[in-house]
Amino acid sequence: MDGIALREGIGLSVPEQVDLVLAEFLAAKTADGDLAELDVMLALVKEFVLGAGKRLRPRLCYWGWRGAGGADCREIVAVAAALELFHAFALIQDDVMDCSDSRRGRPTLHRRFERLHTDRGWRGSSVRFGMSTAVLAGDLCTMWADEQLHGSGFDAETLSAGLPIYHLMRDEVIAGQYLDLLEQSRGPLSVSAALNVIRYKTARYTVQGPLQLGGALAGAGPQLLEAYSAFALPLGEAFQLQDDLLGVFGDPAVIGKSTVDDLREGKSTVLAAHTLARSSAPQRRRFLALFGRSGLDADGVTELRQMMEHSGARRVVEQMIAARTARALKVLESMPICPEASAALRELAIDLTARAR
């Protein structure tokens, strides 16, 4: 890997470099002879980690490093790969909590373990086995993330500059996930509560944390780290708002997941909150009678989508996405970073907020 330019568009791209580091790291994770039964579990986890994905968090980490004056090196790619391992944990356990059937166009990991249990004719509940094993797999990914981070090759002094950001990022995504579950359970929805979930579960974790981690490792000062935050938070909110729209109005074949799950689970989204806020009392009662119903049928799904359209909620969320993206790009224009990093972050901003429907 040494000697290969890491800049996207020259040699191998950052995602490709991250995939090489992950493949090398995971290849060494094999079961001892006495624990050969672990091979199937490890194989499924490795396949999940190395599967489809845009490697957004690693790319942001890398360009946060470059924007702060860091040079191309294997060490920053290794740190970026650690973020992808942690993200695997977040996805695996999020799917368990949401009882999701698909992720990235394939069955979720807990469904694959469930199928393994069924196919082998093992005793007990296949569903319980699938979910329990997926929780363990997610935990394993967090440990691997730490191992990858500390084995990145950076010296202890350099790593110490980034560890507080890394730890805070992980704390905040757990807090955001809890807030998501809490709001989903409490209802009815409010726009302010839904936005608070977004800030912790997505904006800080997806954009701010990775970007600032890369910057801190390169020695970025408070001014640049604050500029990274001013860019990241509106962009992260726009990303999740777009994801919420896709989760209802997207094409499952394109986005790789169901467009019914959020409606059946009663997800605490800004889209749903605005629908309630912009509806009459009878419309709100009807919405709440359907929203979050596990047995919601196709007619109910269509009715909820129509309510989101006719109330103007979808249009409002689209305007929120545009405004937040514009705000982030405005910050980027005056950010004290090199032109190459600025161009890469602009491209990433577009990638985050203009995904295919």
Cβ neighbourhood burial of 151 (10 Å; 0-12, 13-18, 19+): exposed
The reply to whether 1-154 and 156-357 are identical in fold is yes
Give me the residues paired with residue 95 across strands: none
> What pLDDT is stored for residue 188 in this prediction?
67
The pTM for the full model equals 0.90
The whole-number pLDDT of residue 34 equals 65
Per-residue pLDDT of the chain (357 residues; tens, 9 = 90+): 333 344 444 578 999 999 999 999 999 998 776 667 788 889 999 999 997 788 999 999 999 999 999 999 999 999 999 999 999 999 999 999 988 888 877 899 999 999 999 999 999 999 999 999 999 999 999 999 999 999 999 999 999 999 999 999 999 999 999 998 888 888 767 899 999 999 998 999 999 999 999 999 999 999 999 999 999 999 999 999 999 999 999 888 777 778 898 899 888 899 999 999 999 999 999 999 999 898 999 999 999 999 999 999 999 999 999 999 999 999 999 999 999 999 999 999 998 887 533
Homologous superfamily (CATH) of 1-154 is Farnesyl Diphosphate Synthase (1.10.600.10)
Parse the chain into domains and list their residue ranges.
Answer: 1-154, 156-357
Q: Answer yes or no: CATH 1.10.600.10 is held by domain 156-357.
A: yes
For the chain, give the mean pLDDT.
91
The predicted structure's pLDDT at residue 2:
37
